Amino acid sequence: MVIEGSVMEAALLEVCLTRRVAASPEVVFAAWIDQKQLAKWWGPKGFTNPVCEVDARIGGAMLIDMRSPDGVVYPMTGRFVTIDRPHKLVFVTAAIDGAGKPMFEVLNTVIFDAARGGTEISLAARVIKTASADAPRYLAGMSQGWCQSLDRLTEFVTVL
C-alpha cells in the first residue's frame, strides 16, 4: 500500500457512511451493478454519466465518465473484488488523469442489510494508493461526493 504524506496529513484516508432507503436489498444492490441504473445516480449532485460501462462479475471492470454541471469530465475506472448478491459489494475505483494514469485508488465496501421498510446501506471508502500530486485536491471532496451520490441513490431506488 502506498499513501503519500499529504493525503495522510489531510486525514482523508477513509469515509464511512450509513443510509437507510425504502427499497429492498435486491433492488438497491441491482442499482449498484446494473450499468443503466448506475448511470442515473452515480456521482455528486448535478453530475451525469455519459459513459457507464459495468461488467458486474468478480474481476470485472467498470468505466465511468462523470460529467460535472460545468461540462468537465472526470473519468474513472474500477474492478469488482467481491459480489455477494444482495448482501455485499466490494470494488476498487481509480480516478484517471489527463494522461490516462490513475491518480489514486479507493477500496469501496458496501453492505446491504435488510431493515424495517427497506435497506440499510453501509459504505466504507478507503484510499489504498495515491500516485499523483493532484490526489489530495480530489480526495478533499470524497466525503461530500459520496454523501451526494447516496442521496441520489436513495431518490432513485424509492421512485422505481
Mean pLDDT for 72-97 is 97
**pTM assigned to the model:** 0.90
What is the assigned CATH class of domain 5-158? Answer: alpha beta
d(CA 36, CA 126): 26
pLDDT in tens, 29-61: 999 999 999 999 999 999 999 999 999 999 999
pLDDT in tens, 8-31: 444 558 999 999 999 999 999 999
- The string of DSSP codes covering 31-92 is HHH-HHHHHHH-SSTT-EEEEEEE--STT-EEEEEEE-TTS-EEEEEEEEEEEETTTEEEEE
Domain definitions of the chain by residue range: 5-158
Indicate the residue type of 135: A
Mean pLDDT for 70-99 is 97
- Cα distances (Å, whole numbers) of residue 39 to 9, 11, 36, 62, 86: 33, 30, 5, 11, 19
